[in-house]
Copies of this chain bind each other. A is one copy, B any other.
Amino acid sequence: MGGDYAPGNVVAGSLDALRESGGRFSLVLVGQRERIEEEIDRALPSPPGYTIAHAPEVIDMRDSPTAALRSKKESSIAIGLRLQRDGKADAFVSAGNTGAVLSASTLILGRLEGVGRPSIGALIPTAGSPCLLIDSGATMDCQPRHLYEFGVMGSIYMRTMRGVSTPRVGLVSVGEEENKGNEATVEAFRLLKGAPVDFIGMIEGRDLLKGKVDVAVCDGFVGNIVLKFGESVPAFLKARFLSFAAKSVKAKLIALIARSGLRTVLREMDYQEQGGVPVLGVRGVTIIGHGGSSPLAIKNMIFRAEEMVKRHVHRKIQEALQA
């Protein structure tokens, strides 16, 4: 198990999930056995339903994904995903090295037929309902066909997992005209017009937070930059309020109240608590969490993985893209 607070937060979140699950599923805790057992001892009495799979090697948050996967065959990431590939688990959840989890999911589980590139979809808050930003960091250089796939996968995810009956899919670009954007986007526009989704056309950066679409399609380079930019807004506002508060006693009071309001309002921008992001396009279920995932986030990731298994998200994606 990985992440900045592993195995503590991961074990705690896993046991919480088991306690709440009422026996619907069991968990395999993959990682360094002794350290996992120490954490379990702290949380006694522990719920039933878990086993431990010892993983002697550790892929660090700073390790290069491909190199680490090649040299550390017995990491929790590799072992956990092999368990799924071999049918001994239905899903894999990790707060470890994002790149490594992503590469290992693609390498070990394999891509679904009809999928050229895997993707990760992150839910971002909007003035309306949350929007799936896909790809949010898996595939950097995308061909138009990959953007098409992201649109289809994202639409299926939002319908199946979030109950959006007809997800509105938009292609992130620099204007609403279909000839505006970079080469891949302009070509992807033409493909998406023929996709089995409710494609509403190009959207701009300003449309994301407006809630204009349920699925925002872009390459992983753009998606990752926008996602991280958005995540940094609360800290930016905090810094701004601090310098504003320094101006006068009245300003200090306003800033104090404003920040308490902001905290409430921005809680939804705390992607951490939302239960990680799914890897879409692979033969199985992988959920990747922030390195700093709290026990609550880990628990939510496990529940999200359970839902993805139950609702056959990846089978539905395969059916749509094979056609």
Interface size class of A (residues with CB under 8 A): 35 or more
Within A156-204, which residues are at the interface with B (CB < 8 Å)?
A: 172-174, 177, 179, 181-183, 185, 204
What's the Cα separation between A138 and B56 when bound, in Å?
51
Q: What 0/1 readout, one digit per residue, does chain A (47-60) give for beta carbons within 8 Å of chain B?
A: 00000000000000
Which among B127, B141, B174, B259 is the interface contact of A236 at CB below 8 angstroms? Answer: B127
How far apart are A128's CB and chain B's nearest CB, in angstroms? 9
Q: By the criterion CB–CB under 8 Å, are A240 and B265 in contact?
A: yes
Q: Is A70 among interface residues, defined by CB-CB distance under 8 A?
A: no
In angstroms, Cα B174 to Cα A75, docked, is 25
Is A224's CB within 8 Å of the partner chain B?
yes
Identify the closest chain B residue to A185 (Cβ).
B221
A25 within 8 A of B: no
Given A174-B220, A258-B262, A261-B257, does the pair A240, B208 have CB atoms closer than 8 Å?
no
Query: Cβ of A218: which chain B residues have Cβ within 8 Å of it?
Result: 225
- Option from B229, B231, B254 in Cβ contact (under 8 Å) with A226: B229
Contact B224 A205 (CB under 8 A): yes
Chain B residues with Cβ below 8 Å from A183 are: 140-141
Q: How far is the CB of A66 from chain B (nearest CB, A)?
A: 10
Q: Is the CB of A206 within 8 A of B231?
A: yes
Counting every copy of the chain, the complex holds: 2
| A219 in the interface (beta carbon within 8 A) | yes
**Which chain B residues border A172 with CB–CB below 8 Å?**
225
Q: Does A320 contact B (CB under 8 A)?
A: no
Residue interface mask A111-141, B partner, CB < 8 A = 1: 0000000000000001100000000010011
Report if A209 contacts B (CB, 8 A). Answer: yes
List A72-98 residues whose CB lies under 8 Å from chain B.
Answer: none
Q: Which residues of B contact A266 (CB under 8 A)?
A: 240
Residue in B126, B137, B204, B240 whose CB lies within 8 Å of A174: B137
B contact residues around A264 at 8 Å (CB):
244
The residues of A with any CB-CB pair to B shorter than 8 Å are 64, 126-127, 137, 140-141, 172-174, 177, 179, 181-183, 185, 204-210, 218-222, 224-233, 235-237, 239-241, 244, 251, 254-255, 257-262, 264-266
- Apart from A204-B224, A255-B261, what 7 extra A-B contacts exist at CB < 8 Å? A137-B174, A141-B182, A174-B228, A182-B219, A204-B225, A205-B225, A206-B228
30 pairs, A vs B, C-beta closer than 8 Å: A64-B177, A127-B239, A127-B240, A140-B181, A174-B220, A181-B221, A205-B225, A205-B227, A205-B229, A205-B230, A206-B228, A207-B232, A209-B229, A209-B232, A209-B235, A210-B232, A210-B235, A221-B222, A222-B225, A225-B226, A226-B226, A226-B229, A229-B229, A237-B262, A241-B265, A244-B261, A251-B261, A257-B261, A258-B261, A262-B262
